[in-house]
């Protein structure tokens, strides 16, 4: 069995999605951790501890040939104090910072 970290909430509040990760980045073989577990991952050239927040709940069974998608948050992220956001990158257009939770979209200068 294998699992792939597809969403990473960094301490800055930025959400890194699978579109920004290499196909083999944070792809692991072995027993799938469950929500609440911690593991070491790599993102943007640094390694850090992250907590599983979505994807494999205790007691859930998966076929051996399935890659289980997981979402994690970097240890130290305080979601009650740090607004979450992601970057929308479209070739030929200015990057857009998307604030999650209804704060809107802002276009960043090039």
How many domains, in total, are found in the chain?
1
DSSP H or E segment with residue 41 = strand 38-43
Instruction: Write the DSSP string, 76-91.
Output: T--TTTS--EEEE--T
pLDDT the model gives residue 43: 92
109: number of Cβ within 10 Å: 5
Is pLDDT of 84 > 80? yes
What confidence score (pLDDT) does residue 110 get? Answer: 42
Q: Report yes or no: 37 and 51 within 8 Å, Cβ to Cβ.
A: yes
Name the pLDDT band for 109 (thresholds 50, 70, 90): very low
* Residue 63 located in a structural domain: yes
Q: Residue 24: its pLDDT value, please? A: 85
**What pLDDT is recorded for position 102?**
53
Task: With beta carbons less than 8 A apart as the criterion, state whether 1 and 68 touch.
Answer: yes
Query: Which range has the top average pLDDT, 62-71, 77-86, 100-109?
Result: 62-71
The DSSP code for 20 is G
Domain assignment present for residue 72? The answer is yes
Q: Is residue 68 part of a domain?
A: yes
Paired tokens of 32? 């799938």
Burial code (b: 16+ CB inside 10 Å, e: under 16) for 69-99 equals: ebbbbbeebeeeebebbbeeeeeeeeeeeee
In a domain, 85, yes or no: no
Please, are residues 83 and 99 in contact by the beta-carbon 8 Å criterion? Answer: yes
Which has more confidence, 102 or 100? Answer: 100
Residue 105 has pLDDT above 80, yes or no: no
Residue 42 covered by a domain: yes
Q: Do the domain assignments include residue 23? A: yes
Residue 11 lies in a domain: yes
Write out the residue range of the structural domain in which residue 20 sits: 2-78
State pLDDT tens for residues 11-69: 999 899 988 888 889 999 999 999 999 999 999 889 999 999 999 999 888 888 999 99
């Amino acid at each position: 069995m294998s699992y792939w970290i597809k969403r990473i909430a960094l301490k800055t509040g930025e959400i890194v999605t699978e579109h920004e990760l290499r196909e083999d980045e944070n792809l692991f073989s072995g027993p799938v951790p469950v929500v609440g577990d911690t593991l070491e991952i790599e993102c943007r050239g640094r390694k850090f501890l992250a907590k599983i927040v979505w994807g494999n709940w205790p007691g859930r069974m998966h076929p051996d040939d399935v890659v289980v998608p997981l979402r994690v948050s970097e240890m130290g992220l305080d979601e009650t104090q740090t607004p979450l956001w992601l970057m929308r990158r479209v070739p030929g257009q200015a990057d857009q910072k998307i604030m999650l939770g209804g704060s809107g979209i802002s276009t960043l200068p090039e």
